Amino acid sequence: MKKSTLLLFGVLITLFSACQEDKEKVEEAPTESFRNEVAATEVNVATAERKSFDYLIQATGKLEAGAEVLAVIEQAGYLLEVNVREGQYVKKGDIIAKLDPTEPEFRLEKAKISLRNANAEYESAKMGYETLFSSDNSEQKDVVDEQLKAKSGVFLAEVELREAQMSFDRSVVKAPISGQVADLKFKAGSLVSANAELCQVLGTSEFILKVKVLESDISLISINQKAEVYPISNTQTALHGKVTGINPRVDESGLVQVSITLAANKALLPGMNARAIIRAPQNNSLVVPKDALVYRSGRAVVFSIENKESKWNYVEVGKDNGEEVEILDGLEENSTVITSNNLQLAHQAPVQIIKE
């Protein structure tokens, strides 16, 4: 009985040892064989290139007419005619409104009569100096002639005539510039005061878009730099303009006003909202497609490929133009980077490049 117990104990020890060896063999199975069992992730790739990189500075603003001038009614009176409507195109000097001219005409005629009377008195007084005016003493003649004109009231009458003519001329309102009429405030029959605003004339031969950009970007912008403008009414078609003004003051929000001038376009109206893109070329930058960039725990990561496996690279990101990203550190030039299926990708995961 004792021998049977010992024999059974020996068999159990042998079986336990065999199981332990099998377990160790499983645990010692190489990682390589495990990777081979995992299906390779199919990925698209690109090359990290050092090249010129267009950084895009984007901002929105409102369009303004290239010129905006008030048409002012310079004297009080009744408006007999208003010859324009809003939106109408006028040329500089066109008569756009008329006041009742009765009183200005009367003052003008009165001033003309006063000047004729003064001249008659002057000629009469001049007859007493026939000898002097027939002589060659030009200096003395000029002195006496001026005195006679002053005494007879010629000088004063001439000034009053000019004033009356100016008053008469103000009974018509002329377009101050060529452009379109906007904000018409009066109609025929209105009683207006002196210096009342009749309308605005918008010079739309060019437009100005004023936008605000970050002060950190202002060093990348210069006068005559090209810009693309997308009106809200047509966000698909770019209009071409150039930077014509940079305000030297930074506002309380850390923004700087930049003016972009663009040519006239029938689709544009003053006050229209628009988006501007100013291209700022960056030379000799290491660039990857934006799709190559992912974030893990708040840090920027780009996966490259080495030996058919993904490699996790923490990178320092620079400027971004919406399509490409500038890499400042963490990635070697000419690296093959993964641009698809990289959101859940792990380090040293097997990958297969999709052939296009």
Give 279-299 pLDDT, tens digit per residue: 888 888 899 999 999 999 899
Q: Which range is least confidently modeled, 108-122, 130-144, 320-334?
A: 130-144
What's the CATH superfamily of 57-65+202-283?
A: Efflux pump adaptor protein, beta barrel domain (2.40.30.170)
Region 96-125: mean pLDDT is: 93
* Beta-carbon contacts of residue 106 (< 8 Å; ≥ 6 apart): none
Q: What is the mean pLDDT of the chain?
A: 87
User: Do 239 and 260 meet the contact criterion of CB atoms below 8 Å apart?
Assistant: no
- Paired tokens of 241: 């303009």
Give 181-219 pLDDT, tens digit per residue: 999 999 999 999 999 999 999 998 899 999 999 999 999
Q: How far is Cα 115 from Cα 354, in angstroms, rounded to an integer?
A: 98
Cα of first residue to Cα of last residue in the chain, in angstroms, is: 78
Decide the pairing of beta strands 351-353 and 41-43: parallel
**Residue 246: pLDDT over 70:** yes
Using pLDDT thresholds of 50, 70 and 90, give the confidence band for residue 174.
Answer: very high
**Residue 3: pLDDT over 80:** no
Give 335-348 pLDDT, tens digit per residue: 999 999 999 899 99
pLDDT of residue 2: 44
CA 319 to chain CA centroid, Å, is 20
Count of residues in the chain? 356
- Paired tokens of 182: 């906007």
**Residue 11: pLDDT over 50:** no
Region 66-71: mean pLDDT is: 94
Q: How far is Cα 182 from Cα 85, in angstroms, rounded to an integer?
A: 8
CATH fold match for the domains 35-53+285-353 and 57-65+202-283: no
**Residue 1: pLDDT over 70:** no
Q: How far is Cα 302 from Cα 288, in angstroms, rounded to an integer?
A: 9
pLDDT of residue 19: 46
What is the third-level CATH fold of 35-53+285-353?
A: 2.40.420
- Paired tokens of 64: 């303004």
- State which amino acid sits at residue 343: L
| Per-residue exposure over 332-356, b if at least 16 CB sit within 10 Å of its own CB, e if not | eeebebbbbbbeebeeebebeeeee
* Domain boundaries, given as residue ranges, for the chain: 35-53+285-353, 57-65+202-283, 101-170
- Percent of the chain residues past pLDDT 90, beyond the cut: 69
pLDDT of residue 125: 87
